[in-house]
A and B are shown apart, each in its own frame.
Chain A
Amino acid sequence: MSKFKKKKDGGLPAISTASLPDIVFMLLFFFMVVTVLRDDNLLVQNKLPKADQVEKLKKDRSVYIYAGKPSSRYQDKYGSEPKIQIGDKYTDLSNIKFALTEARQKLLPELQDYVMVALKVDEKTNTGMVTDIKQELRDLNMLKIIYITTPGNEINQ
């Protein structure tokens, strides 16, 4: 009779799940894009020290130096003395300059002058080793460094 008669009384309509794959795909693409598969295979133990007065690292203009004891699976072969790693292999102190120049060349040409050296050093390493690395960096005139740390503080723990 009336035009506005309710068709049904009560009963929730089923929620359409037709757009679910689209939503999931969107999320999937997001994560695929932001994912960076680790480019350096860590050969050394790397437990970073804690600090809270930190700045952000500009990733596009940095080269990494790792230092620390060799990882447990490499210890039979390389011993347990702390070693320096640049790129994918161990580097000798005298070889740092060459390895760093090589690493710098992989950056964008316009950013090579603003290169920053990110030092990822294990907290158990001696400061002496870090000093040696810094001396080499001064020789190379790569003066901007950043000690990578994890959030936290040494005092209140």
Chain B
Amino acid sequence: MARRATPEVNAGSMADIAFLLLIFFLVTTTIEKDKGIARQLPPKEPPTDEQVKIKEKNLFIVNVNRSDQLLVEEKLMELKDLRQAAIDFLDNGGAPSGTAEYCDYCKGKRNPESSDNPDKAVISVQNDRLTSYKMYIAVQNELVAAYNFLRDRESERLYGWKFTEKTKDLDEGKIKGEAAKDALQEKLETIQKLFPQKLSEAEPKKSGQ
């Protein structure tokens, strides 16, 4: 039998098929973009009698009750004022000049009744068990924002760029080269030392206590 030449397959509809598949994948794709507030939990340690002493003026107590109301330093406060209050507290620099605790980069009111310096200042958040998670995250977000604001200010003063932007660049791998990365990391750590994030979280109280 004579061999018949195979007829050429018509590829005209190829584009249509590919388009169909393309549209399917376009629709189903969710590019994962998980972002969030990172935290380091304190390690579990055997209970000790030793009490860490923090002066009351160095402690900024944020209390959230079961109906999501804020009590900051024993005063009722709206969520929108929390950021500024935290900035004022951290940036206060109340220690008198000349002492070891004196904070020369603070621009606060230098109120001796408030925190000595950012290194001493501790923010303590106390939640009720029935506080909503939404409120909890909102409070955490505001407090982190306060730290970021101050860190941005210091890094602009020292290096001329914003702390948060450079951290983001580092995260996204925009900084090329090991040497550049290390140099940046070092500068970021310097800034972090100026305003160390000291956020403490007390065990939530049982509702109604």
Contacts and interface: CB of A to CB of B under 8 A. Distances in A.
Interface stretch (B129-137, B154-162, B187-195): B129-137
A121 B29 CA distance: 23
A126 interface: yes
Interface string B172-209: 10000000000000000000000000000001100000
A89 interface: no
A119 B44 CA distance: 20
Contacts, number: 158
A34 B29 contact: yes
A118 B129 CA distance: 21
Contact of A123 (B128, B129, B137): B137
Contact of A138 (B22, B31, B43, B138): B43
A31 B25 contact: yes
A109 B145 CA distance: 35
Contact of A146 (B38, B131, B145): B38
Nearest to A56: B171
Nearest to B66: A126
B39 A145 contact: yes
Contact of B44 (A28, A52, A121, A138): A138
A134 B31 contact: no
A53 B144 contact: yes
Contacts of B25: 28, 31-32, 35
A124 B22 contact: no
B19 A51 contact: no
Interface in B96-144: 127-138, 140-142, 144
A49 B79 CA distance: 15
B134 A137 contact: no
Nearest to B31: A34
A24 B19 CA distance: 6
B145 A126 contact: no
Contacts of A20: 15
Interface string A1-24: 000000000000000010011001
Given A20-B15, A123-B134, A149 B29 contact: no
A52 B149 CA distance: 13
B145 A52 contact: yes
Given A28-B18, A127-B129, A128-B130, A55 B136 contact: no
A118 B29 CA distance: 21
B50 interface: no
Nearest 10 A-B pairs (CB), nearest first? Answer: A128-B129, A123-B134, A31-B25, A154-B138, A49-B137, A51-B141, A54-B35, A148-B36, A53-B144, A24-B18
Given A127-B128, A127-B136, A146-B36, 14 more contacts: A37-B28, A50-B137, A53-B144, A56-B35, A116-B38, A123-B134, A127-B131, A127-B133, A128-B130, A130-B136, A145-B39, A147-B39, A147-B137, A155-B142
28 contacts: A21-B18, A24-B18, A24-B22, A28-B22, A31-B26, A35-B25, A35-B29, A37-B28, A51-B36, A51-B138, A51-B140, A116-B38, A118-B36, A123-B132, A125-B132, A125-B133, A127-B133, A128-B130, A128-B204, A131-B129, A138-B42, A138-B43, A141-B43, A145-B39, A145-B41, A149-B141, A154-B135, A154-B141
